[in-house]
Amino acid sequence: MCCSTGVCGPQVDPALPKFSADLDWLKAQGHDVVRFNLAQDPTEFVKNATVQKMLTDEGVECLPLVIVDDRVVSRREYPSRENLAMWTGTSVKPKATLPVASDSGCCGGDTGCC
């Protein structure tokens, strides 16, 4: 891949921008997220004994690998936001909701929205 995210070139796999957005979302939830690309960061792959063993045993077919707290939680596919949330103990529900108008057309109370 020509860039660190893999979201480049004429034929972008639709899973890549979605996964990239999911990682950005995870960062916004306060998690430390580091992403490495084998073509861009080969040293990082060699530094991790677990990754090195998987590459030796299975080749690049084991990629992508997702490691959470030093444990491989996913391989060979880009996981969903729901799985990322589950593995990190993060809620996928929005943290806050916007006020909703009542039947009278006003939010009511001292919300200042009327």
Residue 69: inside a domain: yes
Residue 47: inside a domain: yes
Locate 8 and state its tokens.
């480049």
Residue 58: inside a domain: yes
SS3 75: strand
> Residue 1 has what pLDDT?
44
Residue 43: inside a domain: yes
Residue 65: inside a domain: yes
Residue 14: inside a domain: no
> Residue 114 has what pLDDT?
55
Residue 63: inside a domain: yes
Query: From first to last of its 114 residues, what are the pLDDT tens digits of the chain?
Result: 444 455 555 667 788 889 999 999 999 999 999 999 999 999 999 999 999 999 999 999 999 999 999 999 999 999 999 999 999 999 887 655 666 665 555 555 666 655
Query: In whole angstroms, what is the distance from residue 23 CA to residue 70 CA?
Result: 17
CATH number at residue 85: 3.40.30.10
User: Considering its fold, how many domains does the chain have in total?
Assistant: 1
> Residue 12 has what pLDDT?
72
